[in-house]
Structure 1
């Protein structure tokens, strides 16, 4: 028998599969004080929570028998995932169960925005009959820009079409074929800005999307545009939005999520043209039942068949495998992150090639780490090793893995290529005995670079003086260079240089480099969750954290 503890208010209907299962005992203890929870947590095999229970490292120290923590929802901010991973506890969530709820809330916000329903209700319920102040606009024949065409964005687009709206969709993974199947027009961010009467946001919050809708972007939008955000706070620069609404350039906004929650900014709360709700996107009876059903079903699968679908972490590897693969796992994550930054767009195809000693190894985990590194650039922490291949398929990206008996000049060598049509980016890497990880190929150029947190990639003409120009310019901006490596395909043609830096660069430095005669391309490449590559110094817990 497996014992499951439920500590927050979760639907009985959603938990029915666990209640009815002969191998599970469900104990409901809502609003249990932390000290009491510590006393009993060691008795349970699984824990189900929503957002109220804080699953801390201190609590997990008492959880001697716990194997699964389930979050009946999406976010796991209340769970110390790293602490759970170190104890070998699987953390699962229910990422797709709120799709319909979030979709319908988005449409409700858009209709409320178009017809000024909350403002009209407030005035009418106060006893004033005012039909002149709330003249709205129709959705029919208007253009809706959807930024983020994942599950929720696609469902919003489908429903908006029933209103007779024209749909422009932006997503780095949106292909022409998928856009055609959805009956929408694939668009750039700038086209969405310039043509849309309404813009709705459905992307995760990442380094790339934080502040995506900023003052500069809002200036590109059509005068009178209306914005809806039921995705994540922080994607819209709230101060810039308020200024745009106050100026009249943006006709109105409807926000369910905010940079800081609960929201208290009076400029947002008291503006008559901004509608606000308290993060209600997933707050429906049906959604709460679905999340409970989803985690209940997965708990049963984990204990009965060891099948995991929605883990946000990874069970610990065996000590032998971990010791052997540590440097390759860290390097695989790094080249995945770097190749997608070099490519500057989402790939349609991923190719992984192994040579030398690596052809004898089980590389399934390494494959997933590279794919996770690529996808995380656009999907942030919504991608993990368990769901990486599923998300890859969902995005319509193909991948191929080959192990080659031919020798590439190294005892071990892996090459990662991503492409879309005729465009491609490639990185080759190895682990040198006694020296650690090295990037030895970028596209067609031979190179020898130790991965570092901040890398500067420069493509330039192979002419005298280029190295001096770059070094002098960075010196003027007080940027310290760690190392500089140069590669070229032919004398006098194009060449590249890759520099390791002590810190990141601001836009002024990058602009100055771009204006330097002879330089064709400049790109700052940065590694998230960076793990140093010195041999013998990789902390196993750091490797576990990237998993």
Structure 2
């Protein structure tokens, strides 16, 4: 008999599968104090929470039998994933159950913004009949720019078309074919800024998307543009947005998410041209039932059948396979990160993976997933994991091909990853050397020997004397310490590369200074998760009892 503890307000209807299952006992104790939760958690096999319960490392230390933590929703910020992983506890969520709720809330916010409904309601309810102060605009024939064409962005586009809107879609993984199928126009981020009457955000919060709507972006927009954000706080620079609204350039905004929640910024809360709601995107009866149904079904699958669908931190893998491939798993993740950055941060439309030597005798499925995760995580951040990476790749319409070849390429094992978009291609070859660890041995057509480090400076240049000295001197002037320097070339006097490992990141000024050196064709900072970071965050894949 399995015991399940529910500590937040979870839909009773959604929990039906668990409540009626003969092998499960469900205890519902919402708003249980932390101290009480620590006392009782040791008796349970599974824990279901929403956002209120904080699943900390301290709490998990008291969890003696816990095998599964289920977040009835998408975000898992309230769960210490690393602590759960270290204890071998699977963390699952319900990534698709709130799609319709978030989509409809986006449309509701857009209409409320266009017709000034909250402001008109407030004044009318106060006893004032004012028909002149709330003249709105129509959605018909307006251009809607959608930043992020994942599930929610796609559903918003479908519904906005029924209003007669013209749709511009920006997403690094949006192909011309998929845009045509959806009946929208694939656009650059700049085009979305310049041409849209309404702009709605539907991306995860990553290093690339944080503050993507900033002062510079806002300056490119039409006068009178309106913004909607029901995705994540932090994607829009709130201070810059308020200034643009106060100046009259931006007509208004409808915000469901904020940089800090609960929101307390008076400039956001009191501005008459800003509509605010308290993170209600997933707050519908139906969505809450769906998330409860999803996690209930998966808890049964995990504990009874040992099948995992939406694990945030744990794919299926035997301990024996993990022991053999652990070093390659870390390297594969880094190869993916490297390749996508060398592809000028474009989203690839084609991926090829080749394994050579003894690796052909191993089950390399997880290794393949690790490389793919490294690629996709650059744009999708923590929404991609080893379980859902193939699904996400298929969803984005990106084909991948895996081949195995007994040729050893001069090493017992060798991995090669190639990604491309149009005429742009990036290729990485690597292996793990006994006694020396992971090594990047090939970048595009150049042979090299580089240990993966957190900060790598990649430079393409003409193969002429003195180039290494010029780069070293310039970095010294900027107080940048060089760890190692490796060079590669295909012919004397032709094009060459150098790769330097650095102690810290470079800013754009240093990169521009390097590119101004005569003979330098390109300089790029590549940032990798180092071995320690990857090891700390790696999924725990041993079988569980």
TM-score (norm 2): 0.96
User: In the TM superposition, what whole-angstrom CA distance separates every residue of 1:82-133 from its partner, at most 9, and x where no partner exists?
Assistant: 1111121111001111101100111011111111111111122122222111
Cα shift readout 1:267-325 (whole Å, capped 9, x = no counterpart):
11111111111111111111111111111111122123222111111169665444432
1:265 aligns with 2:265: yes
The 10-residue stretch of structure 1 (291-300 or 308-317) with the greater mean CA deviation from structure 2? 308-317
Distance 1:546 1:519 in 2: 45
Task: Name 1:335's counterpart in structure 2.
Answer: 335
In the other structure, the counterpart of 2:27 is: 27
Corresponding position: 1:233 with 2:233 = yes
Query: Which residue does the alignment assign to 1:402?
Result: 403
Paired with 2:389 and 2:495, the residues of 1 have a C-alpha distance of 36
Query: Residue 329 of structure 1 contacts residue 543 of structure 1 at CA under 8 Å; is this kept in 2?
Result: no
- Aligned residue number for residue 430 of structure 1: 431
Q: Deviations over 1:145-178 (max 9, x none)?
A: 0000000000000000000000000000001111
Q: Does 1:191 align with 2:152?
A: no
Partner Cα distance (2:479, 2:83) in 1 = 40
Alignment partner, residue 305 of structure 1: 305
Distance change >3 Å, CA 38–CA 263, structure 1 → 2: same
How far is 1:78 from its partner? 1.5
Aligned twin of 1:420: 421
Identify the residue that residue 18 of structure 2 maps to in structure 1: 18
Q: Which residue does 1:66 correspond to in 2?
A: 66
User: Greater CA deviation, 115-124 or 299-308?
Assistant: 299-308
Distance 2:537 2:131 in 1: 62
List gaps (5 residues or longer) in structure 1: 533-537
Deviates more, 1:392-401 or 1:53-62: 53-62
CA distance in 1, matches of 2:516, 2:166: 40
CA distance in 2, matches of 1:114, 1:480: 54
**1:411 Cα shift?**
1.7
CA distance in 2, matches of 1:131, 1:509: 57
Taking structure 1 as reference, are residues 306 and 545 closer, same or farther at Cα in structure 2, changes over 3 Å only? closer
Aligned to 1:525: 526
Distance 2:265 2:534 in 1: 43
Partner of 1:129: 129
Moved more, 37-46 or 158-167: 37-46
Q: Which residue of structure 2 lines up, in the alignment, with residue 501 of structure 1?
A: 502
Q: CA deviation at 1:187?
A: 0.4
| Alignment length (residue pairs) | 541
Between the aligned partners of 1:65 and 1:478, the Cα distance in structure 2 is 52
Q: Cα 1:193–1:416, aligned 2, differ >3 Å: closer, same or farther?
A: same
CA contact (8 A) 1:88 1:315 kept: no
Task: Supply the distance in 2 between the matched residues of 1:543 and 1:10 (Cα, whole angstroms).
Answer: 30
Q: Distance in 2 between matches of 1:543 and 1:96?
A: 24
Deviations 1:52-87, CA, capped at 9 Å, x for gaps:
222222222222221111111111112111111112
Contact 1:86 1:316 in 2 (8 A): no
**Please, which moves more after superposition, 49-58 or 248-257?**
49-58
Helix, strand or coil at the partner of 2:484 = strand
Task: Calculate the aligned-residue CA RMSD, in Å.
Answer: 1.7
Cα gap change, 1:83 to 1:453, in 2 (>3 Å) = same
The alignment partner of 1:37 has SS state of: helix
Kindly indicate whether residue 490 of structure 2 is the aligned counterpart of residue 489 of structure 1. yes
User: What residue in structure 2 maps to residue 363 of structure 1?
Assistant: 364
Q: Which runs of 5+ in 2 are unaligned?
A: none
What are the within-5 Å matches in structure 2 for residues 87-236 of structure 1?
87-236=87-236
Matches within 5 A, 1:441-520: 441-520=442-521
CA contact (8 A) 2:316 2:541 kept: no
Tell me which residue corresponds to 2:40.
40
Contact 1:352-1:402 at 8 Å conserved across structures: yes
